[in-house]
Amino acid sequence: MKRIGLLLVGHIDAGSLHVGGDYPELYKSILEPEDIEITTYECDNGQMPDSLNEQDGWLCSPSRLSVYEDHAWLRDVEQLLRDMVATEKPYVGICFGHQLMAQALGATVKKADYGWGIGAKHYEIVEQQSWMDSSDEIVLAASHQDQVQNLPNGARLLAKSDYCPIGGMLIGERAWTLQVHPEFTPALADSLLATRLQLFGEDKAAAARATLSEPLQQARVAKWISRFFHHVS
């Protein structure tokens, strides 16, 4: 069993909490069967780890915030990510956690010309890793408007999509990130789309909901996360 700290920096929309709970419950549901024990740190409420050695590795949650918003606690998390890279602590960043790591290391994150990336999305794996399986593509749910605009110094491209050129990064051998959501079930992704029609537009939301009939590869990427933490920590 590996002990992983979840840096909680955002929450599932209240209108969809009934589907699977908030991020701590969602990550526990996919990772506890893979021999991962999750401990949550409510960073948005000021609960930061006293030491990066408290856990075997770290996972940063998604958020409805933008990484460039002005919140003092968010700058503290950003510094925490720089410290993880400097001390080579194992780290996985998802969606906001992908973007925040990029910004922490000097990259630009901003709203994409593409607009909202929603629904089931195909991502090409650019650089295979030992903790992956052999396939060169994954399919997971997306929900984001911001995108990483450039690779920060020292990072390598892990994954990309037709709408998102920097969809995942490798930072050294002990940190990686992914823009799409392994914790989103089709039911949750559908609920979030259904409750945010004004935000996305009805036509775009309907088209995105239709893509969710395609199987999402949650379990597969959960195994990647687990293998990574067991391999490096």
What is the tens place of the pLDDT at every residue in 23-68? 999 999 999 999 999 999 999 999 999 999 999 999 999 999 999 9
What is the rounded CA–CA span in Å between residue 148 and residue 48?
25
DSSP assignment of the chain:
-EEEEEEE-----GGGHHHH-SHHHHHHHHHGGGTEEEEEEEGGGT---S-GGGSSEEEE---SS-TTS--HHHHHHHHHHHHHHHHT--EEEETHHHHHHHHHTT--EEE-TT--EEEEEEEEESS--TTS-S-SEEEEEEEESEEE-SPPTTEEEEEE-SS-S--EEEETTTEEEESSBTT--HHHHHHHHHTTHHHH-HHHHHHHHHHTTSPP-HHHHHHHHHHHHHHH-
Identity of the residue numbered 190: D
pTM of the model: 0.97
User: Which residues are known catalytic residues?
Assistant: 95, 181, 183
Closest CA to 171 of 70, 67, 93: 93
From CA 94, how far away is CA 10, in angstroms rounded? 12
pLDDT given at position 134:
84
User: What digits encode the pLDDT tens for the residues 3-30?
Assistant: 999 999 999 999 999 999 999 999 999 9
Q: Which of 147, 53, 44, 161 is nearest to 102 (CA)?
A: 147
CB 176 within 8 A of CB 92: yes
- Which domains, ranges and CATH numbers included, belong to the chain? 2-232 (3.40.50.880)
pLDDT band for 233, please (50, 70, 90 cuts): confident
Residues 139, 122 contacting (CB under 8 angstroms) = yes
Do the beta carbons of residue 103 and residue 80 sit within 8 Å?
no
Scan for tokens 């039911």, then name that residue.
Answer: 187
pLDDT digits (tens, 9 = 90+) for 166-218: 999 999 999 999 999 999 999 999 999 999 998 999 999 999 999 999 999 99
